[in-house]
Structure 1
Amino acid sequence: SDSFAAQLEEVTAELDQLSESLDQPAELTQSAPVAALQGVDLDGDDDFDFLSGTDETATKLDLARAYIDMGDTEGARDILDEVIAEGNDGQQQEARELIANLV
């Protein structure tokens, strides 16, 4: 639960750093490939934003199921509580059902 949140924060921070480094290109010498890219606007191009549209709550449901499969009911319960707090109606219902089935 807390370790998952910490890991998620670490990954997010790492992605932010990578994103910043992509936004600030290193000094390049003028070469044919670089010259060919002059005027190409990659800012605002979402083709490389591979995390956009991912449903964090759906991912948490998947993670909770994995915890259940591993026998970590406490970890699963913590994540399912987050789903109940953050998810849409269907996700909340699924989380409640999973909690009800925990031993």
Structure 2
Amino acid sequence: GAMDFDLGSISLDLGNETTVAQPKVTQGAPVSTDYGAIDLGEVTDDGADPIARKLELAEEFRQIGDMEGARDLLQEVVAKSSGAVKTRAQSMLNDLG
């Protein structure tokens, strides 16, 4: 048979006596965000030539065996540079085969 539920006796009124537990906030030492102490090595972002950086990355890619990544970067450097940088990039590209 069907079950009968008497929902009339259920009250959703929690009353005013219900209190929500508040997390206890303790005042600790102020948080210091002194980034001057962090040594980032030789990170220089003084408007360094992005083409020169790509040439460096291509060399790093070659060293770890990512010839395709190195080749892509070198092709971009050759296309966007001139002079000694372009000559160096073309030479590195030729070395990759």
Matched, 1:61 2:81: no
* TM-score normalized with structure 2 length: 0.51
Deviations 1:47-95 (A, max 9, x none): xxx6343100000000000000011111100000110111231111001
Rg comparison, structure with higher value: 2
* Unpaired runs of at least 5, structure 2: 1-43
Aligned to 1:51: 45
Q: Distance in 2 between matches of 1:89 and 1:51?
A: 23
Are residue 70 (structure 1) and residue 69 (structure 2) matched?
Answer: no
Q: Which has the higher contact order (CA 8 A, sep 6+)?
A: 1
CA distance in 1 between partners of 2:54 and 2:82 (Å): 13
User: Percent sequence identity over matched residues?
Assistant: 37
Q: How many residues align?
A: 54
With normalisation by structure 1, the TM-score equals 0.48
Runs of 4+ off more than 4 Å: none
Residue 36 (structure 1) aligns with? none
What is the CA RMSD across the aligned residues, in angstroms? 1.4
- Please identify which structure carries the higher helix content: 1
